[in-house]
Amino acid sequence: MTGRTMSGATTHLDTVEHAGQSPDTIQPWAELGLKADEYQRIRAILGRRPTSAELAMYSVMWSEHCSYKSSKVHLRQFGDKTTEQMRSVLLAGIGENAGVVDVGDGWAVTFKVESHNHPSYIEPYQGAATGVGGIVRDILAMGARPIAVMDQLRFGAIDHPDTARVVHGVVAGVGGYGNCLGLPNIGGELVFDPCYQGNPLVNALCVGALRHEDLHLANATGEGNLVVLFGARTGGDGIGGVSVLASETFDEKGPSRRPAVQVGDPFAEKVLIECCLELFTAGVVEGIQDLGGAGLSCATSELASAGDGGMAVRLEEVPLRDATLRPEEILMSESQERMMAIVRPDRIDEFMAIARKWDVEAAVIGEVTAGERLTITWHDELIVDVPPRTVAHEGPVYQRPFERPGSQDALQADSALALPRPKTGDELRETVLRLAGSPNLASKEWVTAQYDRYVMGNTALAMPDDAGVVRVDEESGLGVAVATDCNARFAKLDPYAGAQLALSEAYRNVATAGATPLAVTDCLNFGSPEDPGVMWQFAETTRGLADACQVLGTPVTGGNVSLYNSTGDDAIHPTPVVGVLGVMDDVTRRTPSGWRQPGQVIYLLGTTREELSGSEWAWVTHGHLGGVPPKVDLGAERLLGQILVNASRDGLVDAAHDLSDGGLAQALVEACLRYDVGARVWLDEVCERDGISPFTALFSESVARVIVSVPRTEEVRFTDMCTARGQVHARIGVVDSPDEDATLDVQGLFSIPLTELRQAWEPLLRNTFS
């Protein structure tokens, strides 16, 4: 669909009456992404052929992106496996725009991660920018003030000629939009892997805070209440973006699809945020919904579907940027920075006055009606007359076939344990440096320096620390920590375990910062669901994540699924990005990831096993991916979390850093470089206790491990606590003096001056992309 009119659409207005009279009109359902049986189902629901406007609505709302038709049957587990006790922290859960978590003192926090993958490959800047804009509106629609963003980025090989194009655009887009909105960017992920070459992943997370009483839900209730569209005008951008971009795999020979990507205006969104918050405070909003994917089609049908009546919309009242837009295009337009509110007639003047104050254009485009139909007219002619639930909530559901790929056994049999290993001190030293300077472990400062982390004045931790921490209540210091993680190599080797490992790591990172993990959001990025092997990965991932959430007591509150991340037969690694939100009573007690005080003792918490398959070491030094990932140990993870939170609260640790990609070696590197303070480390005791070699101690990626630095005055209390609770711990080092000769010294093996370490770790991204 590229022209000004929908191909195949009749040139005159296709009214409901006309549709009833012309059942045999050929309609472009296939071009709009519908399957033959889906089109027949629409005809059955309506008892006639759909009008072109109805066809537009159904096609976009029944797309994979909006309907979750392939994933729904699996996603149900997140609700089914949430116990009453887990539910007790939730004020709103899956199904709303975002989950809302009670964090105490009358405060609630809402957070969600969402993908904008396909648009970001085509038009990296705008794709990424509008990804941020979209997730921020989701949070705003809950009645919350957005307080922070994060971005989870995955690109192709760092040295591939096309990677720089995407990296530059995406990073500038995330920054350009988020910075201009005035939201601190408090962290995220940055991964390079050839599997993302043609399908980069751009996920964005937003956190918002609200008082319990300010919670707003997306429904249209109260006959006679007005439907108000406000924010930016509706234009021709992003028409069909949802169905065209999210439901088809890229084909190099296809037509240029640039016009399908939306264009963002962060200033309009900033003003919209302030306007909405003032509207909420004034109490003039009965229900609210953001306009994202599927635009007006989605907002009108979802609001009406979730409400207790119907809705009548006069489409010609929609303020337009382009007066030539046809009604179908207005319904499908994904113009950004728009919201829809339900307002009582006696409050509309107040509503409009607040909108005027912020120079936000607002128009009454319809009202809530008594019936159960969503009707849309165009200059008094009826062009849509549908049951809204059939559009919004009762779309097709597929039981896609899934099957463990035959290649999975061979993949798992190809263990990294057989790979040649460094043995001597010199070889280990060289490996530490090589890993520190590798694309996924090197400093991410080139990216994070393009993001404002200070705005709002509440950021207590941000990259490069383990979690982002922001204050919610300025009086008490109450705040939240958020971390997101996913090692997609682990997920490729074993999707069930991989999803649990992603949760495990994010949970650990939140606890490492000193916060108690409470709730989960996820962004499930996968290949084509029409591939049974990919669908098996998806089924295993959702099962693994839901099971692990139950064990850890952290409910999935909402999230997003992105399918069709494949080019030809090549799918990305399954990439279930898991975000964990934790709460802390006083964010100034947060634990940073680097040590600063000379003489403090360094403890390694947790057990190290010989687990190298899927590790950063195997990938960087051997280009190897095979075997089975590290063993999941959620019990150990939960205990470790409790130890870390208590230690933070009681002032027993001054620094804590989790062990994940690159193992102990990389954790030591980062903890030293955080404040340029060296350390002397010995591994003999750990090697003897766990029955491992120094190489394994340094590079294994076993779960449930962190390093902490403990003030000598607190050492006895700390070790007593570990012993009493059964937390495995070993004293492995001492923090050195911060001077020019600072080194990371691993006794008996090697010593690396921090200047040399920094030289290895710091410049890669800057040199590659500047």
Q: Please report which residue ranges of 634-753 form alpha helices under DSSP H.
A: 634-649, 663-675, 684-690, 694-699, 715-725
Helix (H) / strand (E) element for 489: namely helix 488-493
For position 264 contacting another protein by CB under 8 A, the verdict is no
Angle formed at CA 75 by CA 146 and CA 637, multiple of 5 degrees: 75
For position 742 contacting another protein by CB under 8 A, the verdict is no
Which of 101, 365, 460, 472 contacts another protein by CB under 8 A?
A: 460
Least separation in angstroms between residue 651's CB and another protein is 14
Least separation in angstroms between residue 179's CB and another protein is 6
| Residue recorded with tokens 């729904």 | 72
* Per-residue mark of binding to another protein, 591-620 (x: CB under 8 A): -x---x------------------------
> Under DSSP, is residue 529 helix (H, G, I), strand (E, B) or coil?
coil
Which of 16, 271, 288, 757 contacts another protein by CB under 8 A?
A: 271
Which of 43, 389, 393, 674 contacts another protein by CB under 8 A?
A: 674
* C-alpha to C-alpha distance for 746 and 680, rounded to whole angstroms: 6
For position 45 contacting another protein by CB under 8 A, the verdict is no
* Per-residue mark of binding to another protein, 215-254 (x: CB under 8 A): ----------------------------------------
Question: Measured from the CB atom, is 466 or 633 closer to another protein?
Answer: 466
Query: What are the tokens at 472?
Result: 């919610």
User: Hey, which bits of 486-637 come out as E strands?
Assistant: 516-525, 556-562, 566-567, 570-571, 575-584, 601-605
For position 363 contacting another protein by CB under 8 A, the verdict is no
For position 270 contacting another protein by CB under 8 A, the verdict is yes
For position 175 contacting another protein by CB under 8 A, the verdict is yes
For position 457 contacting another protein by CB under 8 A, the verdict is yes
Which of 82, 120, 438, 459 contacts another protein by CB under 8 A?
A: 459
Question: Is 65 labeled as catalytic in the residue annotation?
Answer: yes
Question: Measured from the CB atom, is 459 or 500 closer to another protein?
Answer: 459
Number of residues in contact with another protein under rule CB under 8 A: 40
Q: CA 687: distance to chain centroid?
A: 38
Which of 59, 130, 179, 727 contacts another protein by CB under 8 A?
A: 179
* C-alpha to C-alpha distance for 676 and 681, rounded to whole angstroms: 16
How does DSSP classify residue 156?
Answer: S
Which of 22, 424, 588, 723 contacts another protein by CB under 8 A?
A: 588
Classify strands 185-192 and 556-562 as parallel, antiparallel or unpaired.
Answer: unpaired
Helix (H) / strand (E) element for 287: namely strand 287-290
Q: Which stretch binds another protein (CB under 8 A): 112-120, 376-384, 447-455, 565-573?
A: 447-455
For position 145 contacting another protein by CB under 8 A, the verdict is no
How does DSSP classify residue 272?
Answer: H
Closest-CA residue to 248 (of 57, 74, 119)? 119
Least separation in angstroms between residue 468's CB and another protein is 13
Question: Measured from the CB atom, is 39 or 451 closer to another protein?
Answer: 451
Which of 221, 412, 450, 597 contacts another protein by CB under 8 A?
A: 450
* Per-residue mark of binding to another protein, 316-345 (x: CB under 8 A): ------------------------------
Question: Measured from the CB atom, is 42 or 460 closer to another protein?
Answer: 460
Closest-CA residue to 471 (of 191, 677, 209)? 209
Q: Is 559 left (phi over 0), alpha (psi -120 to 50) or beta?
A: left
Least separation in angstroms between residue 275's CB and another protein is 10
Helix (H) / strand (E) element for 112: namely strand 107-115
Question: Measured from the CB atom, is 272 or 341 closer to another protein?
Answer: 272
Angle formed at CA 21 by CA 16 and CA 22, multiple of 5 degrees: 95
Cα–Cα separations (whole angstroms), residue 653 to 192, 477, 646, 647: 33, 20, 10, 6
Least separation in angstroms between residue 448's CB and another protein is 8
Task: Tally Cβ neighbours within 10 Å of residue 741.
Answer: 10
For position 455 contacting another protein by CB under 8 A, the verdict is yes
Are the C-beta atoms of 664 and 707 separated by less than 8 Å? yes
For position 651 contacting another protein by CB under 8 A, the verdict is no
Closest-CA residue to 407 (of 489, 493, 486)? 493
Burial (CB < 10 A; 0-12, 13-18, 19+), residue 250, is middle
For position 172 contacting another protein by CB under 8 A, the verdict is yes
Instruction: Find all residues with CB under 8 Å of 92, minimum gap 6, and list them.
Output: 98, 99, 100, 110, 142, 215, 217
Question: Measured from the CB atom, is 4 or 357 closer to another protein?
Answer: 357
Give me the catalytic one of 116, 216, 573, 657.
116
Least separation in angstroms between residue 412's CB and another protein is 43
How does DSSP classify residue 372?
Answer: S
Question: Measured from the CB atom, is 262 or 301 closer to another protein?
Answer: 262
Question: Measured from the CB atom, is 167 or 640 closer to another protein?
Answer: 167
Q: Which stretch binds another protein (CB under 8 A): 46-54, 246-254, 301-309, 590-598?
A: 590-598
| Window 76 to 105, contacts with another protein (CB under 8 A) | none
Least separation in angstroms between residue 452's CB and another protein is 5
Question: Is 729 labeled as catalytic in the residue annotation?
Answer: no
Closest-CA residue to 157 (of 416, 489, 440)? 440
Which of 456, 551, 628, 687 contacts another protein by CB under 8 A?
A: 456
Active site positions, annotated: 65, 116
Which residue ranges make up the site for another protein (CB under 8 A)? 172, 175-176, 179-182, 265-268, 270-271, 357-359, 448-460, 471, 474, 587-588, 590, 592, 596, 674-676, 770
